Amino acid sequence: MKGLKIAVIGGGSSYTPELIDGFIKRKDELPVKEIYLVDIKEGEKKLNIVGNLAKRMVEKAGLETNVILTLDRREAIKDADYVITQFRVGGLKARAKDESIPLKYRTLGQETTGAGGFAKALRTIPVIMDICKDIEELSPEAWLINFTNPAGLIAETVLRYTNVKAMGLCNVPVNMKNTTAKMFDVEPERIRMDFVGLNHLSWAYKVYLDGVDITSEVVRKNLDEKALNMNNILDLKWDRDYLTHLNMLPSPYLRYYYMKDQMVENQIKDKEEGKGTRAEQVMKIEDELFKLYDDESLNIKPPQLEKRGGAYYSEAAVSLISAIHNDKKEIHTVNIKNNGAISNLEDDVVIECNAFVDKTGANPMVIGNMPSIISGLVHHSKAYELLTAEAGVTGNYHKALAALSTNSFIPSVTTAKKLLDDILEANKEYLPQFNGR
């Protein structure tokens, strides 16, 4: 069997041991010959630390996989079978700005939604477009598996403006599934969740245990017991009347939409009390992680990595690659083109949904019409994503203003214009597409 070449863009990420652990666990079904970990010059120190840990992990597992550390992205992409993207343009310092700048205007400061997610998208799009050009030239048959946030918006950009075979992926759906399995004290394989919506804006509209519909019971447990959540999201409780009527399980990120006033007020309070943004908290966590990674006696994924917020990342990424490579026809939750899955949404836009995955790619499961209780928010957010993707590709100021004005978290065009000018100024070194303004 031909050995696989995997290119990981953003290889110096603190998440990389998660990914390596995933390949180790699936060594019998994925014959990985080479894993190229790629980063930029500014990330070389972290690349070397995490890359050497990856080598020790592979050696301990008895794999013959060759882990190669490089700053040469084209070398890594050439003839790759899979390209995994997990990079953060501007690093955590840029994320800290994404989380703090909007608070000046009493709007949400968050890395994937609101104005912060918009800024992150503008920084990311030029880089992902360059990566896609390399893939088109050097490995046109490769699959791009994108984890870089905002994952849905980046998938929209790639699938709309390039010819690369791509899927967007997020650890939130698998986290929701596994957390629900723990609630019922069963194996995750016995739980099935059917998702509808967009990345970080999705709902599990049906939940099954051994094929029996338990949706209402899951909703009840998320009201009566500790609701499932992510490490990076404030654990506010869902409104009982609303969630009972909804009878779907919202992604934890929907707290930002359903409780936006409380979320913003808590962020402002934290800032005033000097608690710092999530980015500043993650910087401390990463410092601790890289000190651990640098210990030459460490040759496993450390349990402290779970604090970083990437739980089940490797499960989502590597199981998806295995489903493609081994033609498994498994159900995975991915970000792909709608293609008729949601009847009351355009066919050519990217959604987050369950899909059958095999060697041809991902084929979305038919959902039908979204109910009106969620369809308005999805349409609104998709309009924002389409405008942002176009602004990110073209560097058009007026498209960017239209995009930010359309964002669900921005109260007015006046606020959007002030925010946009602040974002362009704060991120100018990362926004080549806007340099002509």
pLDDT given at position 281: 84
Q: What are the φ and ψ backbone dihedral angles of 5, each rounded to 5 degrees?
A: -110, 125
Report the pLDDT averaged over residues 281-293.
Answer: 90
Report the pLDDT averaged over residues 349-376.
Answer: 97
Q: How far apart are the first and last CA of the chain?
A: 52
Residue 1: is its pLDDT beyond 60?
A: no
pLDDT given at position 313: 76
Active-site residue (options: 253, 257, 293, 313): 253
Q: What are the φ and ψ backbone dihedral angles of 357, each rounded to 5 degrees?
A: -110, 125
Report the pLDDT averaged over residues 280-305.
Answer: 90
Closest CA to 56 of 291, 290, 293, 287: 293
Q: pLDDT per residue over 43-102, tens digit each? A: 999 999 999 999 999 999 999 999 999 999 999 999 999 999 999 999 999 999 999 999
Is residue 319 within 8 Å of 168, Cβ to Cβ?
no
Q: What DSSP designation does 248 have?
A: S
Helices (H) and strands (E) in the chain, counts: 16, 13
Report the pLDDT averaged over residues 351-365.
Answer: 97
Q: Is 253 a catalytic residue?
A: yes
Domains along the chain with CATH numbers = 4-168 (3.40.50.720)
Lowest mean pLDDT among 78-87, 284-293, 397-406: 284-293
Q: How far apart are CA 38 and CA 427, in angstroms?
A: 23
Alpha helices, H only, 61-150: 73-77, 91-100, 114-138
pLDDT given at position 277: 82
Q: pLDDT per residue over 113-156, tens digit each? A: 999 999 999 999 999 999 999 999 999 999 999 999 999 999 99
- Identify the band that residue 225 occupies on the pLDDT scale cut at 50, 70 and 90: low
Is residue 36 classed as helix, strand or coil in its secondary structure? strand
Print burial letters for 7-44: b (CB count within 10 Å at least 16), e (below 16): bbbbbbbbbbbbbbbbbbebeeebebebbbbbbbeebe
Q: Which residue is associated with the tokens 């690659």?
A: 321
pLDDT given at position 235: 83
Q: How far apart are CA 14 and CA 434, in angstroms?
A: 30
- 264 sits in which H/E element: helix 260-272
Is residue 109 within 8 Å of 419, Cβ to Cβ?
no
The amino acid at residue 255 is: R
Token output for 154: 């980046």
Residue 236: is its pLDDT beyond 90?
A: no
Residue 78, CB-side half-sphere exposure with 13 Å CA sphere: 5
Residue 436: is its pLDDT beyond 90?
A: no
Q: How far apart are CA 42 and CA 162, in angstroms?
A: 28
Q: Please give the C-alpha separations between residue 211 and each of 189, 193, 379, in angstroms, as whole numbers.
A: 11, 10, 31
pLDDT given at position 205: 97
Spatial neighbors of 27 by CB under 8 A, at least 6 apart, are 61, 63
**Mean pLDDT in the chain?**
94
Q: pTM value? A: 0.95
Largest CA distance in the chain: 59
- 151 sits in which H/E element: helix 151-161
Q: What are the φ and ψ backbone dihedral angles of 358, each rounded to 5 degrees?
A: -145, -165
Residue 6: is its pLDDT beyond 70?
A: yes
